[in-house]
Structure 1
Amino acid sequence: MDIIAKTRDFLNQTGYIARFTGQLFTLAAKPPYEIKEFLSQCYIIGYRSLPLVALTGFIMGLVLTMQLRPSLVYYGVQSQLPVMVGIAIVREIGPVITALIFAGKIGSSIGAELGSMKVTEQIDAMEVSGTNPYKYLVATRVVAGTLMLPVLTMLADAISLFGAYVGVNISAVTNFRLFFMQILKTLEFGDVLPAFIKTFFFGFAVSIVGCYKGYNSNRGTRGVGNSANTAVVLSSVLIFIIDLLAVQITALLGLN
């Protein structure tokens, strides 16, 4: 019976999220548009997340290089280190790690913020005053999150590659231009485009889940905490699912 109940609950939640997402495509496209709030969310979601993303990206590139170098030296192919690091960061590690950081920071923040507004009845007050809370609170955050994560991912990739360059120069001396020329010569269209496109889906998934959990938060402070927590967990799971689907689609299209 527990399995049946959990399955029913899972299907109900899936339907609620699908309906919640469907509202985005019907209401958000209609004027008036909340341009000022959208730009504010772009600043909060994008610019304020940059320091954490940059630090994570630099450490990621540095550690990956330091871990790979001994094995490549052992097999006598240390000259391929820039190529391997570049492909790994651009195709997979950069987008996924950045999306997980994004889910932990932005997904929880959106869930907690909208959950607090729900508990304090600010959302109800917006409806009474004639403002559409879905367009003002949800649409702006989802669109901003969808557009900002690809930008953050590109910056994280660039900083990660610089961290990889620093990691290489800890044990040897490598020319900056030569290091990046090796990476750029190896990267192909099929490496960059699929990795870039899937970041839009990552950003959309994190933003819509955070908004859904916060917008439908239960009453009380515990409900706000649960909204933030479940937003991060569900967003992280969706990131891995989307990444798996992206890899399969890329393989079917022959872009690998």
Structure 2
Amino acid sequence: MLLNALASLGHRGIKTLRTFGRAGLMLFNAVVGKPEFRKHAPLLIRQLYNVGVLSMLIIIVSGVFIGMVLGLQGYLVLTTYSAETSLGMLVALSLLRELGPVVAALLFAGRAGSALTAEIGLMRATEQLSSLEMMAVDPLRRVVSPRFWAGVISLPLLTIIFVAVGIWGGSLVGVSWKGIDAGFFWSAMQNAVDWRLDLVNCLIKSVVFAITVTWIALFNGYDAIPTSAGISRATTRTVVHASLAVLGLDFVLTALMFGN
């Protein structure tokens, strides 16, 4: 009984290591090497539109509502201590340090990550990737690489948009609805936020999340079983694994940035 359990655990561990190895090799072969910007520029621009521009709607709408909820809840708490003029500080720091990069990455994983997995999984199922190999075209450089760089470029920009509209949503509730003086709101935010430190840390988080989410999405699609059920499971794995990875990495990065 115990030996069977240990054998099963060892088998799963080896399988996990093999998966990490295949994922690492896929990313290395797709990204590392002589760049061919002229040849792949149209592909990159197309993927920037598919991955980034088409994700803006959910990012903007979610950012506004999260900023409004944060402003309302923050106002209700701060009024208990007669500190409602600090609402701008609370909204800005919460969005820049945590909610902005994390929620934007989770939304990106659900919208763009799942789409990338399904698209590449369908290309695998319809043997489009095999056809590229038969024509001496590397599918990793042709298909995976433009999508990877599009994800890495898009998510930090989407995070900045999310934070900006979130702060605007918080000011909409605090200033326009609850009547906080606009000067107090914006001055408290400017005095509390170190734009160089907080903004740089926000961008660092978003870049790490972008690499992680895009990598997971592309590998799950590239490694998917070429059936409808296999693509469905791969898409589900992308959302689950990417979300867990973002939350885990967020704790690690927060501890490194603000733990001292």
After TM superposition, the score normalised by the length of structure 2 is 0.91
3-state SS, counterpart of residue 181 of structure 1? helix
Structure 1 counterpart of 2:131, from 125, 131, 135? 125
The Cα of 1:122 is off from its aligned counterpart by 0.8
Q: Choose which of 89, 111, 116 in structure 2 pairs with 1:110.
A: 116
- The corresponding residue for 1:184 is 190
Which residue pairs with 1:168 in the alignment? 174
CA offsets, 1:171-200, max 9 Å, x none?
422354553333123211322211111211
Query: Aligned residues: percent identity?
Result: 23
User: What 5-or-longer segments of structure 2 have no aligned partner?
Assistant: none
Give the distance between the partners of 1:136 and 1:183, measured in 2 at CA: 45
CA distance in 2, matches of 1:244, 1:153: 18
Q: 2:99 aligns with which of 93, 101, 104?
A: 93
Distance 1:109 1:177, change over 3 A: farther
Which of 216, 222, 227 is equivalent to 1:220? 227
Identify the residue that residue 140 of structure 1 maps to in structure 2: 146
Matched residue SS, 1:217: coil
Q: Deviations along 1:52-91, whole A, 9 cap, x unmatched? A: 1000000100011111211211122111111111101111
**Residue 239 of structure 1 pairs with residue 224 of structure 2:** no
Report the more deviating stretch, 191-200 or 164-173: 164-173
Question: What stretches of structure 1 of length at least 5 have no aligned partner?
Answer: none
CA distance, structure 1, for counterparts of residue 216 and residue 102 of structure 2: 17
- 238-247 or 93-102: bigger deviation: 238-247
* Alpha carbons of structure 1 residues 98 and 210: separation in structure 2 relative to 1, 3 Å: same
RMSD: 1.8
Q: Give the Cα separation in 1 of the matches to 2:26 and 2:140.
A: 10
- Runs of 4+ residues over 3 Å off in structure 1: 27-33, 174-178
Shift of residue 111, structure 1, vs aligned partner: 0.4
- 1:67-78 to structure 2, matched below 5 A, reads 67-78=73-84
State the number of aligned residues: 253
Q: 2:49 matched to 1:47?
A: no
Q: CA deviation at 1:130?
A: 2.6
- Alpha carbons 1:27, 1:135 under 8 Å: kept: no
AA of the residue aligned to 1:204: I
In structure 2, the partner of 1:196 is: 203
